[in-house]
Structure 1
Amino acid sequence: MFKVAVIGASGLLGRALVGELALQTGWQVVATAFSRPGPNTVALDIRDAQAVEQFVEREAPDALVIAAAERRPDVCERDPALARALNVDAVRTLAAAAKRRGAWTLSISTDYVFDGAHPPYQHDSEPAPLNAYGRSKLEGERALAETTDLACVLRLPLLFGPIVSWAESAVTSLVPAIAASASLNGEAAVMDAWAIRYPTFTPDVAFVIRQMLERHAHGQAVRGIVQWSGDEPMTKYEIALRLAEALQLDAQLTPQHTPTDATPRPHNCHLASSRLEALGIGRRTPFDTAIRQVLARFPWRGDAGDKPA
């Protein structure tokens, strides 16, 4: 029996990962959650070092995947202590507990560790984060490396996938504004046409992580830093156009060609996925195919607010 602990299993990526791992014969998944614990999850606050140590000691996983984080850049700017507690200190605590058990640790990081000025970025490119979120995730990467060598960082860009609310992903969060702009008296929605993003489908990431876990199960653990990314560059404006097409909405969209976010964001942090690709690891679902799968499971209805129809 190969046992995997998924930390942060109620989130966008965590749910996809639990779904992928549950399909594996001979694997056992222990899922934890904090803000949205469910019947099949263990309630765990990763800021509580004693609770973390007790959880890892009790469950004795062979591998531990840290998908929990504070990932909202604006929140990290306002509350750097919270960002540090979740993105740095908790990673150190989890990694130390996993090391004592001889478990492999996979920690999820971000393309925001780079400044976006010189893409594409390799796994060994020099980080230069622009905001508190990127800095906290970079510190988390270093905390992992300092704590255990039986570990790997997986950097990911903008994620989208099956959702529980439109706001859960920066991709689907555009839907209400798109729909409002298409209404009878709607005003044009202004969309960022400056920052270049690489939307990446969470079921594909879950597939990649499962392949990495398989390597560990066979004694070939991937260590250090790896990256995975979708390969279709697009701005939020271009994402919105494709969402409108998928939703069959006649949206009024206006491109904004200069950055407007209060929190600085990088221009283009394209992550090279070559290290994983060289290991035969990876899968990419075309954006238009993937977003239609998401929308089919959470359909838009003009009077439905933020609830699935």
Structure 2
Amino acid sequence: MFSVALLGASGLLGRAIADALADRAEWRVVRTAHRRVGDTSVQLDIRDAAAVHAFIGHTEPDAIVIAAAERRPDVCERDPALARALNVDAVRSVAAAARRRGAWVLSISTDYVFDGTHPPYHCDDPPAPLNAYGRSKLEGERALLETTELGCVLRLPLLFGPIVDWQESAVTSLVPAIAASALPDAKAAVMDAWATRYPTFTPDVAFVIRQMLEHHARGDAICGIAQWSGAEPMTKLDIASRLAEALQLDARLTPQHTPVDATPRPRDCHLDSSRLEALGIGRRTPFNEAIRQVLGAFPWRP
């Protein structure tokens, strides 16, 4: 039986991956979580190297997917030690344990390893991160690929999907401000119109990861660096406008044409997905369809 260890199964992406693998009855999927541990998951803090080695030694997975990370740029900027512990050191521990087992490891990275000045970015383009988050994820990429030859980094852009609270995604985190701006006599919500993002639906990413796992199960592991991205370029203002339309809100939105974030962010890190596309891997759900699925499954009133 093909065995998969899914680390960080309770998060935004982890839940989508778990759902995508649920119907593979011939696969054994062991899910871990740190704080939100449920009946179908095992408690594991991936920062605890001894616990990671014990877990992998006990479960003996054929493949490991690392969906746990510190992904909030502002938090990484304020606490680089936390970012390093989750995004670098934990990846190295998992990769070392996987190497002993002979397991393939997939680690999630980010478009923020690039500076956003020369898109689109291919897998072999030189990284140049602008902030602590991007630097930690780049170090995590190197930690994986230096520790095991049977590993793959999957770079992803801005993610959105089914949520447990608005703040799980930078896409849905805009909803409270959008809703507030639609109230009588409310001020307009200021939305960034400078940076271009490529919102990517977590069930689509989970489908991609399932296809990558199927390659490994057939003895054709994908190693090195791969990338996947949605294809629709949007600023936060564009995203907010589509959210308002989906929610049928007469929102008042004002564009901000210069960067104002305390943490520097790249302007356009569009990821080229051609490596996976050439293997017949991929799926993209149109944003308007995907966001309606998300909002329809979650009470939108903040």
Do both share a fold (TM > 0.5)? yes
Q: C-alpha deviations, 1:198-217, integer Å up to 9, x for none?
A: 00000000000000000000
Cα distance per residue 1:196-239 (max 9 Å; x no partner): 00000000000000000000000000000000000000000000
Match of 1:176 in 2: 176
1:269-308, aligned counterparts within 5 Å?
A: 269-301=269-301, 305=302
Q: How many residues align?
A: 302
Q: Does 1:133 align with 2:133?
A: yes
Q: Quick check: 1:219 aligned with 2:222?
A: no
Partner of 1:231: 231
> Offset of 1:37 from its aligned partner?
1.2
1:62 corresponding residue in structure 2: 62
- 1:196 is aligned to 2:189: no
2: CA distance, partners of 1:273 / 1:48: 33
- Aligned-pair identity in percent equals 77
Q: SS of the counterpart of 2:32? A: strand
Which is worse superposed, 166-175 or 179-188? 179-188
Q: Tell me the C-alpha RMSD between the 2 structures.
A: 0.6
Matched residue, 1:81? 81
CA contact under 8 A between 1:22 and 1:28: conserved in structure 2?
Answer: no
Q: Which residue of 2 aligns with 1:7?
A: 7
How far does residue 25 in structure 1 lie from its aligned partner after superposition?
Answer: 2.8
**Residue aligned with 1:98, SS:** helix
Offset at residue 39 of structure 1 (A): 1.4
- Partner in structure 2 of residue 102 of structure 1: 102
- Matches of 1:290 and 1:233, distance apart in 2: 15
Paired residue secondary structure (1:249): coil
State the shift of 1:299 in Å: 2.6
Code of the residue aligned with 1:234 in structure 2: it is M
AA matched with 1:236 = K
The one-character-per-residue Cα deviations of 1:66-97 (angstroms, maximum 9, x if unpaired) are 01000000111111111000000000000110
Return the letter of the residue paired with 1:23.
D
State the match for 1:263 in structure 2.
263
Unaligned ranges ≥5, structure 2 = none
Q: 1:242: which partner in 2?
A: 242
Distance 2:35 2:140 in 1: 21
Provide the residue aligned with 1:185 in structure 2: 185
Verify the 8 A CA contact 1:74 1:263 in the aligned structure 2.
yes
Amino acid at match of 2:296: A
**Correspondence 1:42-53 to 2 at 5 A:** 42-53=42-53
- Partner of 1:93, secondary structure, is helix
In structure 1, C-alpha distance between the alignment counterparts of 2:260 and 2:170, rounded to whole Å: 15
> Aligned with 1:261: secondary structure?
coil
In 2, distance between residues paired with 1:128 and 1:23? 40
SS of the residue aligned with 1:238? helix
Measure how far apart 1:35 and its partner are. 2.2
By how many angstroms is 1:36 displaced?
1.3
Q: Matches of 2:270 and 2:56 in 1, distance apart? A: 35
Amino acid at match of 1:176: P
Which residues of 2 match residues 147-158 of structure 1 at below 5 A?
A: 147-158=147-158
Tell me by how many angstroms 1:38 deviates: 1.3
Partner of 1:24: 24
- The Cα offsets for residues 146-191 of structure 1, whole Å up to 9 and x where unpaired, read as 1000010000000000000001000000000000000123210000
CA contact under 8 A between 1:114 and 1:127: conserved in structure 2? yes
Asked whether the 8 Å contact 1:110–1:157 carries over to 2, the reply is yes
1: CA distance between counterparts of 2:47 and 2:299? 36
Counterpart of 2:212, as a letter, is M
